Amino acid sequence: MSESSTNSGGGAPRRPGGRLGRDSAALLAHGEPAVWLMGVGLVLALAMVLGLLGFVFWQGIGTLWPTPATRVTLHRGAVYLGEVARDDRFQPAEAVIEALPPSAIERARAELDANEGWAHRRLIRTGNYELTGEHFQWVSDFEIAQEERPPWALVIERLTWGRFYGEPTAFQLLHYTDEFAETSDPAERRRLRLEHARRIAAELGEAPGRTIRFVAGPRWVAPEEVSPNATVAAVAEIWEGPAAAWAQFLRHHGAVRGRWEERRRLEKYDTGRINHRKEKARLALRRREIALERIEMKSGAESPAAARARAALELARAEYGKTDRETEAEFLAVRSKIADLNRENARFRLALVTADGRNKVIELADIVRAYPANQLTWRQRLAIYGSRWREFLLDDPREANMEGGVFPAIFGTVVMTLIMSLMVVPFGVLAALYLREYAKAGPLISSVRIAVNNLAGVPSIVFGVFGLGFFSYFVGRGIDELFFAEKLPSPTYGTGGILWASLTLALLTLPVVIVATEEALAAVPGSMREGSYACGASKWQTIRRIVLPRAMPGIMTGMILAMARGAGEVAPLMLVGAVKLAPELPVDGIFPYLHPERSFMHLGFHIYDLGFQSQNSEAAKPMVFTTTLLLIAIIAALNITAIVVRSRLRRRFQTGVF
């Protein structure tokens, strides 16, 4: 009996007295089919995982790579300039073919015949949304009369309206004339400005390839032709021609962007700080009001306590008035700084012409990045690719999240996952300790265990509903009424926030931690516990000093699984605090630094939002893959960190050999 059973499961039993059958007709007779099946299963599983990762990686990694700009001229006269987003095959309607000019019809037919009725077409990202109302254009090969890559085609990423494709025609640099015009007489003012403009023009002097114009209303005129009655707002230096314009762009863009960044800092941090101060004073006042109301309710308006509260309220009012005046002054200072920066930046402009001949002037401050797509060397391409990744990882999103970076989402995801782990691990470990070490085994404990396991199977959206109902509406509102009454009716904790989201996910992942911890506890050898007891340790000492450290790698496994599950979960978050655009990060420089009540951005939700909620889903699609890639990378990074920590721990517990 033992002889045949040692001969591996699934294998054929040995024929008594005979050698093993080598009959090729009977696979079952000589192979080990179970092993083959296992192999096939493993390969399938690996193929699916690698396929998924590979697909996301391939789609995500290429999105930010700068591609050349193509200009196509169609038979029907339309001209498009842009980047090819993707291509496919389709079966064109007969009417489309017949609308072509005769020579083109012939070629189109030939192409269709060669491909069994299928034609090739490309989706061109044409941008210039404010001019054309379209972001993309399908172009079939047979429609094209002419196709080229113009050397001066610029790809421009802007703060508004999405990308712009066009060729630069001129660079304009304005010099304002009004600085010294301090008089109330309009005629005198005009004269002074004109004089100032002439002085500027004289200072600028002559330079090859550059013309000087006076900006007088909508018309820009040569200095000699300016009428003495015109109001000259500025003197414009103009570099004509793509090469000269591009050279000037490169010269000035950095400084302009620097000023723009400074402006954003002022708007974001300084304004935020002032707002915060003002809000704090308002809340202090409101608190006094509430206190007075309560005291009047309780002990009457005439009581001495009410009088004291009223005096305190008066003080707070005075304090608020003072803060209000101060903050108002600070606001004005910041605003004037911002206005100065804007005015300075408005001096630099790039004039462009689109493929269909329309003119457009873009201020340099509006341009995030521009490059002549068809002139790039590999190095330059790489530099653009790198700078795009940097922007993607470190910047705030803009244009309804479709452009810019996802830093707040990365931050939100990581912070939420960390808070979740910090919550779920202690809870799960305590629960498992009780179940495994303290509770007397019996039907009650068994049913608790079954319930915990079933919790893992509850759809995650149910947890979201629970989190919203219990944490936000019940606990949160209670907290608000107790501690943040002055902010009501606007909720503080009584709505979605990163704390509630983390708690909800902690609940969701609790079974994973409990089950893993129980297993780890059960795996601690009894001899170790006995050794500890024999030294005179109490039960708790044994658990804390021997059992828990020894079970730590297993507990970490539970934490890793919980993290992987929690970081990728989106559905419940949509109910308890993840938002499309969070104005502030949950951690910042304003006391108390950690703001667990704030709503937050989350990569998973960001993906959903990009892919399915944006108006321009075609442009968003590549970003979906890039963001997915990022999410996977972050989860992997979090897990790898935990795994490294665990393997460090494991090494400590490795038993020596005899």
Binding region for another protein (CB under 8 A): 525, 527-528, 530-538, 541, 545-546, 549-550, 651-658
Q: Is the dihedral of CA 592, 593, 596, 600 positive or negative?
A: positive
Least CB distance to another protein at residue 642 (A): 19
Cα separation, 451 vs 511, in Å, equals 9
Closest CA to 420 of 618, 576, 236, 192: 576
One-letter amino acid identity for 446?
Answer: S
Least CB distance to another protein at residue 533 (A): 6
Cα separation, 12 vs 26, in Å, equals 11
Least CB distance to another protein at residue 522 (A): 16
Comparing CB distances to another protein, the nearer of 404 and 549 is 549
Q: Record the tokens describing residue 90, joined without a space.
A: 């389709």
Comparing CB distances to another protein, the nearer of 159 and 645 is 645
Give the DSSP per-residue string, 160-188: SSS-EEEEEEEEEEEEE-GGG---S-HHH
Whether the Cβ atoms of residue 214 and residue 223 lie closer than 8 Å to each other: yes
Residue carrying the six token digits 């974001």: 268
Least CB distance to another protein at residue 443 (A): 17
Comparing CB distances to another protein, the nearer of 407 and 533 is 533
Least CB distance to another protein at residue 528 (A): 5
Comparing CB distances to another protein, the nearer of 378 and 658 is 658
Least CB distance to another protein at residue 19 (A): 42
Measured CA to CA in angstroms, residue 580 lies from 488, 496, 629, 632 at distances of 24, 13, 19, 20
Least CB distance to another protein at residue 431 (A): 23
What are the residue ranges of helices labelled H in 233-377? 242-265, 271-299, 304-345
Cα separation, 404 vs 401, in Å, equals 7
Q: Is 214 left (phi over 0), alpha (psi -120 to 50) or beta?
A: beta
Least CB distance to another protein at residue 650 (A): 10
Comparing CB distances to another protein, the nearer of 424 and 543 is 543
Q: Is the dihedral of CA 568, 574, 580, 586 positive or negative?
A: negative
Least CB distance to another protein at residue 643 (A): 19
Comparing CB distances to another protein, the nearer of 547 and 634 is 547
Comparing CB distances to another protein, the nearer of 325 and 652 is 652
User: Helix or strand or coil: residue 86?
Assistant: strand
Comparing CB distances to another protein, the nearer of 175 and 529 is 529
Comparing CB distances to another protein, the nearer of 158 and 646 is 646
Comparing CB distances to another protein, the nearer of 377 and 655 is 655
Whether the Cβ atoms of residue 395 and residue 405 lie closer than 8 Å to each other: yes
Least CB distance to another protein at residue 523 (A): 12
Whether the Cβ atoms of residue 560 and residue 635 lie closer than 8 Å to each other: no
Closest CA to 406 of 625, 642, 129, 127: 625
Q: Decide the pairing of beta strands 367-372 and 154-158.
A: antiparallel
Comparing CB distances to another protein, the nearer of 155 and 555 is 555
Least CB distance to another protein at residue 524 (A): 9
Least CB distance to another protein at residue 452 (A): 24
Residue carrying the six token digits 């209670």: 478
Comparing CB distances to another protein, the nearer of 377 and 527 is 527
Cα separation, 595 vs 588, in Å, equals 8
Comparing CB distances to another protein, the nearer of 329 and 535 is 535
Closest CA to 414 of 283, 602, 585: 602
Whether the Cβ atoms of residue 383 and residue 389 lie closer than 8 Å to each other: no
Least CB distance to another protein at residue 646 (A): 14
What is the greatest pairwise CA distance in the chain?
125
Q: Distance from first CA to last CA of the chain, Å, rounded? A: 33
Cα separation, 173 vs 217, in Å, equals 16
Q: Decide the pairing of beta strands 70-74 and 79-90.
A: antiparallel
Comparing CB distances to another protein, the nearer of 2 and 654 is 654
Least CB distance to another protein at residue 444 (A): 17
Closest CA to 169 of 152, 149, 193, 192: 152
Give the DSSP per-residue string, 464-509: HHHIIIIIIIIIIHHHHHHH-GGGTTS-SSSS--HHHHHHHHHHHH
